[in-house]
Homo-oligomer: A and B are copies of this chain.
Amino acid sequence: MRRQTIRDLAKAAGVSISTASNALNGTGRTNAETIERVKRVAEEIGFRPNALARGLLTKRSHAIGMLTNDTYGRLTLPMAAGVSEVLVDHGLSVFLCATNNDPRLARLHLETLLDRQVDGIIFTATRLDLKPPPELAKLSIPVVYAFAEGPADSISFFPDDAQGARLAVEHLQALGRSRILHITGPEDYLAVRVRAKAYRECVGPKAEVLYGDWSEEWGHEAIQQIFARGDARPDAIFCGNDEIARGVIDALRDKELAVPADIAVVGFDNWEVISRQTRPPLTTIDMELKEIGHQAGLAILSLTKGETVPTGITRLPCRLIARQSCGGPPD
């Protein structure tokens, strides 16, 4: 059956179109019982306003675009969930656009989004230092960057990598560990450098950082290197991500060293498929990606309402998830 229009509603409720509209939206001056009646009839005949028509007139589509550079990887997805969670109750829908790191595709998606009159755009990436498409800066609609750094005077949300690193190191120190090593990912990642710096500041002169790739394999190999050269053995290792940590733990077991008794291990990411399954389960740093999504969603929400939001980078705190790889949860 044909969808009911406001014209049908007006006729069924015995009022004019404008009155029907006013009654539903609470605009204009309308008698209380008229409002009541219109709403009841609307419910009865199943009237729901056409979002296209409404958007055309109000110039607000109540939709936003989410532009992500990867094919729905593990970093962007919790963020997308966070964004969506915040927005759904405000009637905002999300267009998901995976650019797959292809500039042509990014432009194509962007144009389509603009044609659809989206109220705003959230750009997310898999790397903090990945440059967002420059076209974004020139748009007249609000843009928010999540896990990516926008141009000057834009609004960006980051995990606080330095604080996360401190959290890890200080946790180890509080447990009495002093010879703490840092095995991490490639040095050309911004996050890697930020964390390494914070680590160095906490640990002092004895700090030592081993850069490699993000794999379990590298965690393994790093342990071989350490033990091959045979100088003073560390009593704790802070790893750049959970995969490396898993490799480290496995390598230590092969060497018949006990975790955490001999060496404590902390990971980064709290990627549960790994961190819960290591033996012992991994104490790690959670970047609270969903919370980043929440904040980005709230920011875009405020902006579309015309409210102002402070510009610049907001670093959101990480959280330590205590499991058994450092000596058991506080408990």
A residues with CB within 8 A of B: 1, 48-53, 55-56, 61, 63, 66, 71-72, 74, 77-78, 80-81, 84-85, 88, 91, 93-98, 100, 105, 108-109, 111-117, 140, 215-217, 243, 246-247, 250, 271, 273-274, 277, 279
Contact of A52 with B55 in the complex, beta carbons under 8 Å: yes
Q: Chain B residues near A113 (CB, 8 Å)? A: 93
Contact of A277 with B109 in the complex, beta carbons under 8 Å: no
- Could you list 21 A-B pairs, sorted by A, with CB under 8 Å? A49-B115, A50-B56, A52-B56, A52-B117, A63-B116, A66-B96, A71-B78, A72-B72, A77-B77, A81-B98, A84-B96, A84-B97, A88-B97, A88-B112, A93-B95, A93-B97, A93-B112, A95-B95, A216-B277, A250-B279, A273-B273
Cβ distance A137 to chain B, nearest Cβ, rounded Å: 16
Given contacts A51-B116, A56-B53, A94-B95, contact A273 B88 (CB under 8 A): no
In the bound assembly, the distance between CA atoms of A61 and B80 in angstroms comes to 23
Chain B residue with Cβ nearest A290: B71
Contact of A61 with B52 in the complex, beta carbons under 8 Å: yes
Contact of A98 with B115 in the complex, beta carbons under 8 Å: no
Given contacts A63-B116, A105-B88, contact A48 B95 (CB under 8 A): no
Chain B residue with Cβ nearest A114: B48
Contact of B117 with A51 in the complex, beta carbons under 8 Å: yes
6 further A-B pairs in the complex, CB-CB below 8 A; given A51-B117, A72-B77: A48-B111, A52-B116, A85-B98, A88-B97, A215-B277, A250-B279
In the bound assembly, the distance between CA atoms of A243 and B272 in angstroms comes to 12
Chain B residue with Cβ nearest A93: B95
Contact of B277 with A243 in the complex, beta carbons under 8 Å: yes
Contact of A84 with B111 in the complex, beta carbons under 8 Å: no
Chain B residue with Cβ nearest A215: B277
In the bound assembly, the distance between CA atoms of A88 and B61 in angstroms comes to 20
Given contacts A56-B52, A61-B52, contact A94 B96 (CB under 8 A): yes
Q: Chain B residues near A95 (CB, 8 Å)? A: 63, 93-96
Q: Chain B residues near A71 (CB, 8 Å)? A: 78, 81
Contact of A217 with B114 in the complex, beta carbons under 8 Å: no
In the bound assembly, the distance between CA atoms of A223 and B105 in angstroms comes to 48
Q: Chain B residues near A55 (CB, 8 Å)? A: 52
Q: Chain B residues near A96 (CB, 8 Å)? A: 66, 80, 84, 94-96
In the bound assembly, the distance between CA atoms of A91 and B111 in angstroms comes to 10
Q: Chain B residues near A216 (CB, 8 Å)? A: 277
Q: Chain B residues near A247 (CB, 8 Å)? A: 277
Cβ distance A302 to chain B, nearest Cβ, rounded Å: 21
